[in-house]
Amino acid sequence: MIYRPKNKILALLVQASEFILAAFDCIYFLLSGLIPRRQSDNVLIVRLDAIGDFVIWLAAAKEIRKIFAGRRLTLLGNELWTDLAKELHWFDAVWSLNRKKFLMNPFYRLKMLGKIQSGGFSISLHTVFNRDFFVGDVSVKASRASRRIGFSGSTENIKPRNKRISDGWYTELVTSGQKHQLDQDADFVRALGANYEPSLPSLPRLPLPREFPVKDYYIVIPGAGHEMRQWPVERFQEIARRTFVRTGLTCVLCGGKRELDIGRAFSRDLSCIPVLDMVGRTSLLYLVSIIAHARFVIGNDTGAIHIAVATSTPSVCILGGAHPGRYVPYPPALNAQMKTVMHPMDCFHCDWHCTRNPDGVVPCIDAIPVDDVWKAVEESIAKE
């Protein structure tokens, strides 16, 4: 989603920063083009999106590994999830990129562009459907690979004029439609010459850390990266009360460091039930391990929900109407252990540019009642 500040001053600052980045890159590529290209048979995969997108892509990643068997495969990934990528041992090298530093710190940007250029890649694969100009596309151009393959994609994360420019940085563009990411990933793999059908992602069942204090539990994810996408905390509390009455299980609360306030708000007034607050206290690998051993997971549409699918942990996802069907729910034929709860509205597919309540929880999420979520939770409990 393209950031569109409402404040005119902020909008001007964003435009100025984009102009500076474009000028910086223009000078860099002009000068670096004078350096002879190093020849090798290495393959670069550029994947710089969020945790959930990466987890969904893992199904296709296995197939890409097979296609390029015997060749050195380097993954340039978002540092949010590269520790997990290294744990999989599917790639010969995993390079971490901090998106914020790459956009804000010219020295870091110069360092990373130079590292990519010196990799000697003959093929560069940008496997993200909704490309972005100043991070993903620029990284592909920096690779100087003789084959640069990416999605034709959309203008969701890139301005049309920038897309017209960066389309020319690729030697091959893969056409795919606005459909589930698994189907988009399958189109990309097939464009590489493989006979491939979509499948669910899978992650190894990492052992539960010895220091983890509970063995029989379920997980609640009350955060969603932005308050507009979050089902109200008091409704999660009610689900926790009902779950304890029904099962007696401990509620383990998970989320990122920016969601500490949400964790405290959830734990407030819940002294009557066991709650273990792990918000801001887990690495990604730690989170994967405790999700894999949980009875079930309840949460908003976040990366943790996709981790649950990849570890075959039953889950209940509270879904807004920004882009239903693109990531959640999963294609029915794949039988993911996920139940989706949403409130259909005629304004669906807004990509979070909500016009009905832009300053609070979006109405498509706020309208989801506790009883609807509880019904899905009960069905997940009954399957155990």
pLDDT in tens, the chain (384 residues): 555 556 667 667 777 889 999 999 999 999 988 888 877 889 999 999 999 999 999 999 999 999 999 999 999 999 999 999 999 989 999 999 999 999 999 999 999 999 999 999 999 999 999 999 999 999 999 999 999 999 999 998 999 999 999 999 999 999 999 999 999 999 999 999 999 999 999 999 999 989 999 999 999 999 988 888 999 999 999 999 999 999 999 999 999 998 999 989 998 888 889 999 999 999 999 999 999 999 999 999 999 999 999 999 999 999 999 889 999 999 999 999 999 999 999 999 888 888 887 677 899 999 999 999 999 999 988 766
Q: What is the DSSP letter of 208?
A: P
Domain ranges of the chain: 35-191, 217-382
pLDDT at position 358? 66
Cα separation of 91 and 74, whole Å?
Answer: 6
Give which of 224, 285, 280, 274 is closest to 252, Cα–Cα.
274
Q: Is the CB of residue 344 less than 8 Å from the CB of residue 368?
A: no
CATH H-level superfamily of 217-382: Glycogen Phosphorylase B; (3.40.50.2000)
pLDDT attached to residue 360: 79
pLDDT at residue 352, as a whole number: 83
Same fold, 35-191 and 217-382: yes
According to the model, what pLDDT value does residue 384 have?
A: 61
Angle between helices 106-117 and 8-32 in degrees, nearest 10:
40
pLDDT, position 39:
76
What does the alpha-carbon distance between residue 56 and residue 203 come to, in Å, rounded to a whole number?
10
**Strand stretches in the chain, DSSP E:** 42-47, 73-78, 93-97, 121-126, 147-151, 172-174, 217-221, 250-253, 275-277, 297-300, 315-318, 338-341
Query: Is 317 in a helix, a strand, or coil?
Result: strand
Q: Enter the tokens of residue 150.
A: 């990416």
In the prediction, which pLDDT does 306 show?
Answer: 97
- Note the CATH number of domain 35-191: 3.40.50.2000
Rg value, the chain, Cα: 22
Q: What is the pLDDT of residue 4?
A: 59
